[in-house]
Structure formats: C-alpha cells, structure tokens
Chain A
Amino acid sequence: MSVLLEVKNLSRHFGGLRAVDQVSFSVQEGAIKAVIGPNGAGKTTLFHLISGYLPSTEGMVSFMGRDIHHKKPFEIAALGLGRTFQHVRLFHGMSALDNVMVGRHTRSSAGFLSGMLALPHARREDRAIRERAMEELEFMGIASLADTEATSLSFGQQRSLELARALALEPQLLLLDEPAAGLNMHETVEVGETIKKIRDRGVTVLIVEHDMSLVMNISDEVMVLSYGQKIAEDEPLAIQKNEEVVRVYLGEDDG
C-alpha cells in the first residue's frame, strides 16, 4: 500500500484563532480513515484546506505524489479528489440526474463550440455521461428519483445524491464531511455499508464524523483533532482506550 494523501505541518489561522494547527498525517491508498474531534476542532477547515477551498497559513499537502497546495478546487478535483459538504450543496434548479452528470465534468471534454453545434462526438460523450450518472444513482439506490428536482428530495436522499455526484468523478480519494449528520440510526447504518462498498470499489475515504459507532465500525484508522491540533492517531480500538481522547472528546458525549 502506498501513501495517497500526505499532509505536513498544515495550519490555518483565522485572526488569532488557530483553526488548524501544525497538523501532519497521511492516508494510505485503499483505507478508510476517520477524523474526529469536538465541535469547532477544525475538521471542516482541514477538509477545506486539502480540497483547495481555503488557502493555508503554512504547511504542505500532496496528493498522489503531487503538491496540490495552492491549487484551485477545480484543479484538485480534476486530479481525482472528490468531496461532499457538511451542509449538503446540491445544484438547485437541476434534476438529480443532471446533478450527477455534472460530476462527470472532469471525465469528459466537450467544450462550448461542440456543445452549441451538438457535434456527434459531443452527443456520444453525453450519452456515456448519462449512463454513467444513472449507474451512480443506482449504486446509491435513488435511480427512481433521477428526474426529480434535486432540492425537493428528502434530506437523506439529498445526502445520497451528493455522494452519487462525488462518485461520478471517479475519485481516487473521497472526503466526506459528516455524511451521517441528520440521519436516523437506520440510515446511518446504511451510510456505513455504502462507504464500505465505496472503499471496495477502490476509492480511498477520508471521513469526518461525529457518530462514534459508525466511525468505529468502518475505519481502519482514526485521527483525533482538538483545538486544531492532532492529539491522537491510531486504530479504532486503541483510540477508544486513549485517555486523552476520552477526556477531550468521548467524555463529553457520555451523557
């Protein structure tokens, strides 16, 4: 197994606040790695830094051996890094299928001119995009909703759709920011199964999640953030026994 993502001394300050503070870690190809930590620990900020949404204050990120630090989100996506958002970000005004078809953007090439002229190669490519997008909807079990306006789907369906869209990109690495937030217990278990299936497709997964049973169930490795700093990184069982982790994080959720 090789290292797919490598993060070194990554920091992001907001004024005096060190949202992410000197964080280093790596993600092995084919693994499911979880990032946990209390609210405001800097997990989403870390994802934004990796995927290019926020410039870092210092540090380095390399993906598949390339320095992706200072690259724009669309460039990083084109390299094979997909992501979902903590607050679902679907394309409103577009059908579920169209949403997923946008996910094929980096895997297709028709430009303005061939689109306007509906040239044969562009139409052929479009059919392939449509088929592939349908497959992803099927994979997520929402193929019957293909023509529904994305934002009129139920919350759980919207999360599934966002995942289908990210998968359409054929990512090497998928960043999932709280994919189970707002879902009930049954749906959360399903999300866990889906993430394992995604891993079995050969996609490496880095996930932020508050649901401990989900994290412990699916992860190969868990990293813990607190006040922007990495305080632990280990196998799930070891993390559960780690005293500092229990103190800053698990302890809070005891109630």
Chain B
Amino acid sequence: MQRKKAIQVSLLAAVVIAVQVFTSATGSLFYLTQLTMSAYYLLVILGLTVLMGYTGQISIGHAGFFAMGGYISAMLTTHDLTQYKDNSLIGLLDSLGLLVERTGLYGDNLLNVTPWAAFIAAIAVTFIVAYLIGGPVLKLKGHYLAMATLAFGTIIYTIVSATPIFGEADGINAVPPFELLPGLVVSGNIALRTSNYYIAWGLVIACMYLLLNLMDSRVGRALRAIHGAEDAAGSMGVNTAQYKLRVFVLSAVFAAVAGVFLTHYNAGIGPSEASVMKSIRYVAIVAIGGMANLWGALVMGVFLNFLSLRGYFGSFDDAVFGGILIVIMLFAPDGLLRQGNLRALIGLFAKPSKEEGV
C-alpha cells in the first residue's frame, strides 16, 4: 500500500519535471505560468475532494476560503502602516520583526506586514472562521448544507467587493513577492517562472501525498464511513461531528494556502476569486474527477484549469463549468472518473481479462 502510493507520487513528480524540461527544450516556457496557477487551484480542489468526495459534505463556498487567504495576505502586505508608526501595537509588531519597510510602485516608502506574518495571519483567520462556521453548518445535510455554504461564499464575496480596505471592485494589486526562504520567492516575475512552477507543484505533490495517506488511514476510513452511512459510523464509535468539522477546516486551510500563494504569484487578487462561480467550478472539477478520487480530481483539475486559463473557453468560461456540473449530476451523480465507470469503459475496448487488484 505505502509502496504503491510512493511510486504513484514519484511518478507525478517525474511528470512535473518532464513537463518543465520539455517546455524549456521547446522554448514554450510560457505554459508554465498557467500550470503554476492551475497547481494552486489544485490545492483547493484536493482539499474539497476529501471533504465532498470522500466525506460526503458538499461545500459551495470554498472560493470564500481561498479569497480569505488571498485577501488577508494581500491587504496586510500592501496596506501602508507608516502613519500608525507611533502606535504602540504597530511598534510592538515592528520590534518583533513582523513589519517591513519597502518602496512602493511609485517610489513611495511603505510600511507593511511581512509576507510570512501575513501568511500565518491569513491561515489563522481562515482556520478560526472555518471552525466557527463549520460547527453549526455541518449539522445540516444535503441541499441544506449546500445552501448554507453557498450563503457563506456570498457573504465573503460581498465583504471583499464592498469594503474599501479590500479594494472593492478593483481588488488589491501591487502585492509584493513572498520570500519563502532566502532565494525561494513566490512571484510572477518572468525570471522566476521555473522556480515558481516547482514551488507550486511541490506543494501539490506534498498535498497529494498527505491526502492519499490520510484516506488510507484509520481517519480516512472513518471519513468514508461517514459518507457511506453516517449513523452507522456513529455506532462504530466515530465522532462524526468532530471528524466532519476537522475535514472542513482542513480543506478550508488548503484553500486559504492556495489563495495566499496565488495572490503573491499574480501580485494581486480581485473579487472574482471569491465568486460563487469559482466555488461551483471547484465542485464541478471534484465531480468530474470522480468525487472520491484524488487522482481523478488532480488530472481534471489541471486539465480544465489549464484550458480555462489559456482562454480556450472564451467568454463561456463559467458556463463550461456550470455545464459540466449539470451533465455530471444528470448522468453520473457519483462522479465521472470512478473505478466502476473506468472499468466499464475499459471493458468496452478490451477483451475480458483478469480484474486487476487495486
């Protein structure tokens, strides 16, 4: 089991490297930009796959968590604190090394929170909000849960698009790069394109490894049991409310991490990232990926996001994802890329053979 996962994840890493080598050999490095962005969206999708696909708890509000991460980090790293310099709290933050002076776009001097501190703050806020929202909301089931999470997403959208500190309709721009480690910087700078590709995909690979492990563990079985028959899971001693809440918070944090990184990569974030259409897009990708299928979600996530970011769907971008969701719900409500469906499909083309042990 462990061996098989290690091989699969190593293969993913090999593909990631091969793509980079290929693009650099063929002079098509520009593709790496969309692949990097797709990778960050994958973090949201993989977290949602565990919540929705495996645990059976839908959320149509995950764009809200992505936006919380992105916006909090963007606001803290761009909002100029110079005028509050004499404030004792700001002084304290400064003495702790949480603030940084830098030169803005127009040569002005800015005093901002450092990206690391902003990152931690963004994750902490998302964690707390997800915890507080998840507690009551996860008592709901089915379409009641869907509606409640949808409402949450709408609230976040309204807040970011109507609050001056979050830039209202314009969002926040001129977000500085995020220096993870000396020399390792999250930034859209063309010169750093390759290293940023590896940062993003490194995160995806790590996340994939952690979640594959999780689903194969005691906790993962308990989560699938909640999906399979929640009351029976309780009779087996699974604290269903607690597990649902933890997975909800986990997936929210994944989304927020993605939001922070992509915002630094794009040097900005706008309200569309918090929109319901983004949440629906994530749900559609989890569904087409096979619901309880991390690999399916990964493949579909990178494929569809890449096409979308390259502009292949034109002005029908959102409609494509809405359409996908309708078709899946009609014809394969348990998800498209599922083992059963795949076997049936392979069966159409292949001669009958011994069933492989998965």
A residues sitting closer than 8 Å to B (CB atoms) are 51, 53, 72-74, 77-78, 82-83, 85, 89-94, 98-99, 101-106, 108-112, 114-118, 122-123, 125-126, 129, 147, 150, 165-166, 169
A115 contact from B218, B227, B235, B238, Cβ within 8 A: B218
Which A residues touch B229, using CB under 8 A?
89-92
- Assembly CA distance A83 to B220 (angstroms): 22
A-B contact pairs, 8 of them (CB 8 A): A53-B234, A85-B235, A98-B224, A102-B238, A105-B236, A115-B218, A116-B210, A118-B2
Give chain B's interface secondary structure class: helix
- Assembly CA distance A91 to B216 (angstroms): 15
Q: Tell me if B238 and A105 are in contact (CB < 8 A).
A: yes
Which A residues touch B216, using CB under 8 A?
115, 118, 126
Write the nearest CB–CB distance from B209 to chain A, whole angstroms: 8
- Assembly CA distance A73 to B239 (angstroms): 9
B residues sitting closer than 8 Å to A (CB atoms) are 2, 210-211, 213-214, 216-222, 224-225, 227-229, 231-240, 246, 250, 292, 357
Which B residues touch A92, using CB under 8 A?
228-229
Q: Tell me if B217 and A102 are in contact (CB < 8 A).
A: no
Which residue from chain B places its CB closest to the CB of A175 in the assembled complex?
A: B235
A106 contact from B225, B236, B357, Cβ within 8 A: B236
- Assembly CA distance A98 to B358 (angstroms): 14
Q: How many A-B residue pairs have CB under 8 A?
A: 113
Which residue from chain A places its CB closest to the CB of B228 in the assembled complex?
A: A91
A118 contact from B213, B227, B228, Cβ within 8 A: B213
Q: Tell me if B237 and A74 are in contact (CB < 8 A).
A: yes
Q: Tell me if B231 and A73 are in contact (CB < 8 A).
A: yes
Write the nearest CB–CB distance from B121 to chain A, whole angstroms: 22
Which residue from chain B places its CB closest to the CB of A102 in the assembled complex?
A: B225
Q: Tell me if A89 and B232 are in contact (CB < 8 A).
A: yes
Which A residues touch B228, using CB under 8 A?
90-94, 150
User: Among A72, A89, A129, which residue has the most Cβ atoms of chain B within 10 A?
Assistant: A89
- Assembly CA distance A111 to B220 (angstroms): 10
Q: Tell me if B237 and A77 are in contact (CB < 8 A).
A: yes
Given contacts A103-B236, A110-B218, A112-B246, contact A91 B224 (CB under 8 A): yes
Query: What 9 pairs across the A-B complex have the smallest Cβ distances?
Result: A91-B228, A115-B217, A106-B237, A77-B237, A89-B232, A73-B234, A116-B210, A118-B213, A102-B225
Q: Tell me if A122 and B236 are in contact (CB < 8 A).
A: no
B221 contact from A85, A89, A98, Cβ within 8 A: A98
Q: Tell me if A118 and B235 are in contact (CB < 8 A).
A: no
Which B residues touch A104, using CB under 8 A?
218
Given contacts A101-B221, A115-B217, A118-B213, contact A53 B231 (CB under 8 A): yes
Which A residues touch B213, using CB under 8 A?
115-118
Given contacts A74-B239, A93-B227, A118-B213, contact A126 B218 (CB under 8 A): yes
A110 contact from B219, B233, B235, B238, Cβ within 8 A: B219
Q: Tell me if B292 and A93 are in contact (CB < 8 A).
A: yes
Given contacts A92-B228, A93-B228, A98-B224, contact A78 B217 (CB under 8 A): no
Write the nearest CB–CB distance from A101 to chain B, whole angstroms: 6
Which residue from chain A places its CB closest to the CB of B232 in the assembled complex?
A: A89
